[in-house]
Amino acid sequence: MSTSDAVAGPDGGLRCPWGLSTEDYVAYHDDEWGRPVHGDDALYERLCLEAFQSGLSWITILRRREGFRTAFADFEIASVAKFTDADSERLLADPGIIRNRAKIEATLANARVLADWSDGELDSLIWSFAPDAASRKAPRTLSDVPAITDESTALSKALKKRGIRFVGPTTAYALMQACGLVNDHLADCVAREAAAG
């Protein structure tokens, strides 16, 4: 059998090594990452958080997620689309989030674009790029997990073509991983089967 990067946790179960690196990651890894996410607002939240993560570690975002939810009206597209310049300035002063002007402006601009889409359109578009699970081998090591795929590149292009900002191929792939379009839990990871549904 080939080598595996999976590491035993306190309960003896094998996990992706990053899923044991901090306490915050254990619950996120075991109960959330890689599980299918549906619904326009839920996917908008993930899209925004992945964009905010760009250039930072995910733990920074994860630890501020409640702050982001408070600041951005629980990522309800219709509400964020109505944010004004005053809201933008308020967000730039909010220590509960990442205060990056370009990322904040992209979050607001994306909500305005998405507010004009029909209900379920973002969900349908994102999920249309999910590859066939049977065509993907379960990764055994972290080096088996790509940063970009043909599907994430195509998703990035499709979103940008529709006016969505701050979503390059790497961010698109992180979104695909987090939202269950792909299952990148290692082959021996205890969370892999649950993520597969």
Residues known to be catalytic? 28, 50, 58
- Residue 38, annotated ligand binder? no
What are the pLDDT digits (tens) for 13-45? 999 999 999 999 999 999 999 999 999 999 999
Report helix, strand or coil for 7.
Answer: strand
- pLDDT at position 176 is 98
- pLDDT at position 142 is 96
> Which is nearest to 106 in space by CA: 157, 52, 55, 153?
52
Ranges of the chain with pLDDT below 70: 1-2
| Model confidence, pTM | 0.95
Residue/partner pairs of 29-32 with CB below 8 Å, 24 or more apart: 29/191, 30/190, 30/191, 32/178
For residues 72 and 96, the answer to whether their CB atoms sit within 8 Å is no
- pLDDT at position 196 is 86
Q: Enumerate domains of the chain plus CATH numbers.
A: 14-195 (1.10.340.30)
- pLDDT at position 145 is 97
CA 56 centroid distance within chain = 13
- Residue 16, annotated ligand binder? yes
- Residue 29, annotated ligand binder? yes
- pLDDT at position 1 is 47
- pLDDT at position 3 is 83
For residues 6 and 188, the answer to whether their CB atoms sit within 8 Å is yes
- pLDDT at position 168 is 97
Q: What are phi and psi of 105, to 5 degrees?
A: -65, -40
For residues 59 and 25, the answer to whether their CB atoms sit within 8 Å is yes
- pLDDT at position 2 is 58
CA 149 centroid distance within chain = 15
- Residue 185, annotated ligand binder? yes
